[in-house]
Amino acid sequence: MPKTKRRIVFHVDMDHFFTAVEEKVHPEYKGKPVIVGADPKQGKGRGVVSTCNYEARKYGVKSGMPISRAWKLCPHAVYLRPNYELYTQISKRIMTILKRYAESFEQFGIDEAFLDVSSKVANYGEARRLAEKIKKEILENEGLTCSIGVGPNKLVAKIASDTKKPDGLTVVDEENVQQFLSPLPVRKLLWVGRKTEQKLREIGVRTIGDLALCDPSLLVEKFGTIGIQYHLMARGIDKAPVGGSSGIIKSISRDHTFEEDTSDVEEIFRILDSLSQEIYEDLVKQSLYFKTITIKVRYEDFETHTHGKTLSFLTNRLEDIKKNARRLMLPYLEREKRIRLIGVKVSNIVSGAKQKTLT
DNA sequence: TCTGGGGTCCTAGGACCC
DNA sequence: TCTGGGGTCCTAGGACCC
């Protein structure tokens, strides 16, 4: 049996990417708190903060926070709507730089990436120098800083990149994985969110070190098969290959939150049709076909439902999307409650090339 | 604190077939 | 009339990610 190959993996994370791009395009914002997200509307706006720069963070503003709360904390900030086209364009250029240094590569969201550099460097010292070189190149080419984590797998690299920001570089070699992870809260692990953190707290587990000492069978009892994953992660074990999960599109969705909750059927159908239209354009652009369509409704009290149907045929016709979306939506329009959000999703997707072989 | 928008993956129950 | 087990697909909901 061949011994498992030693790996060296980078996680590259752009620093407050959206606001960093905005500051680069608008140098006059430099030094001011900048917040990219929903329109704050004098504190009455709906939606959340996408990204904020470090000046804004000094006021307690964070990404994911309601924009109305950000307004209370920092009314004098520069508030901007996201310019995804610009961010995507710059992201593509950065990813092109990163790919050149990687044996295998995996983009993660718009501004993060994993690089497997195992065959490119001989040891962690060389890995550090390579990471420094990459940071320098991105800064010189794009005027943007990033934070890089280096470790024996994606999990450790990702957590490492998060420990020193902005403009950080954190290297964790195999020998130091356990002592690096142990004191950190479980929340730092990938896939451990608010709910899982709470459930772990109930069994007295707060840090990754606590989790590593846990009886795996107890974790399975509490979380099912994913419990094994938690236990492996807590011991710094992650065999997932870089680039393993990237590529094929599984679903396309659009949703819309109304500025004011509504029961106006005409308005709801108008928006529903425009969401269908956008999905249709996306499908055609990428020559994709779908079989399943699902609508989403969120009422004013945040009660949320999904309702879907799998068709007996593959399609990308606008009429099939519009008609089915409307039909699936109908039963939800008869309630007393007003509607806050509607959405449309298509899934069970195959590409046009593959579709031809199926028909 | 009054909660966006675009995704992925998992689970559980039920239908249906052999 | 009663009683299986396995497999696959569908549907709704939920957790989590950036």
Distance of alpha carbon A296 from alpha carbon A329, whole angstroms: 8
Strand B atom within 7 Å of A243 CB? no
pLDDT tens sequence across A61-83: 999 999 999 999 999 999 999 99
pLDDT tens sequence across A178-202: 999 999 999 999 889 999 999 999 9
pLDDT tens sequence across A24-48: 999 999 899 999 999 999 999 999 9
This prediction has a pTM of 0.92
| Bases of chain C within 7 A of a CB of the protein | 9-18
Domain range A182-234, its CATH number among 3.40.50.300, 2.60.300.12, 1.10.150.20, 3.40.50.1370: 1.10.150.20
pLDDT tens sequence across A259-318: 999 999 999 999 999 999 999 999 999 999 999 999 999 999 999 999 999 999 999 999
**Mean pLDDT score of chain A:** 94
- Does the structure show a pLDDT above 50 at A358? no
Strand B atom within 7 Å of A343 CB? yes
- Does the structure show a pLDDT above 60 at A321? yes
Q: Is A112 a catalytic residue?
A: yes
CA atoms within 13 A on the CB side of A147: 17
Q: In this structure, which topology does domain A251-354 adopt according to CATH?
A: Dna Ligase; domain 1 (3.30.1490)
Give the residue whose CA sits closest to B10 at C1'.
Answer: A226
- The whole-number Å distance from A202's CA to B8's C1' is 27
Strand B atom within 7 Å of A341 CB? yes
Domain A9-14+97-178 falls under CATH 3.30.70.270: yes
- Name the one residue in this structure whose structure tokens are 């990436």: A113
User: Residues spanned by CATH 3.30.70.270 within chain A?
Assistant: 9-14+97-178
Strand B atom within 7 Å of A226 CB? yes
Strand B atom within 7 Å of A250 CB? yes
Enumerate the β-bridge partners of residue A293: A309, A346
One of A23, A55, A112, A142 is an active-site residue; which one? A112
Strand B atom within 7 Å of A255 CB? yes
Domain range A17-84, its CATH number among 3.40.30.10, 3.40.1170.60, 3.30.390.50, 3.30.70.360: 3.40.1170.60
Q: Of all residues in chain A, what percent carry a pLDDT higher than 90?
A: 91
Strand B atom within 7 Å of A254 CB? yes
- Does the structure show a pLDDT above 90 at A337? yes
| Bases of chain B within 7 A of a CB of the protein | 1-12
The beta-carbon contacts of A166-173 under 8 Å, at least 24 apart in sequence, are A166/A15, A166/A16, A166/A54, A167/A15, A167/A135, A169/A128, A169/A131, A169/A132, A169/A135, A171/A124, A171/A127, A171/A128, A171/A131, A173/A124
User: Residues spanned by CATH 3.40.1170.60 within chain A?
Assistant: 17-84
User: Residues spanned by CATH 1.10.150.20 within chain A?
Assistant: 182-234
3-class secondary structure per residue, chain A: CCCCCCCCEEEEEECCHHHHHHHHHCHHHCCCCEEEECCCHHHCCCCEEEEECHHHHCCCCCCCCEHHHHHHHCCCCEEECCCHHHHHHHHHHHHHHHHHCCCEEEEECCCEEEEECCCCCCCHHHHHHHHHHHHHHHHHHHCCCEEEEEECCHHHHHHHHHHCCCCCEEECCHHHHHHHHCCCEHHHCCCCCHHHHHHHHHCCCCEHHHHHCCCHHHHHHHHCCHHHHHHHHHCCCCCCCCCCCCCCCCEEEEEEEEEEEECCHHHHHHHHHHHHHHHHHHHHHCCEEEEEEEEEEEECCCCEEEEEEEEEEEECCHHHHHHHHHHHHHHHHHCCCCEEEEEEEEECCEEHHHHHHHC
Nucleotide nearest to A295 (CA to C1'): C12
Residue A186 near residue A192 (C-beta atoms within 8 A): yes
Residue numbers in A 63-102, CB below 7 Å of strand B: 64, 66, 68-69
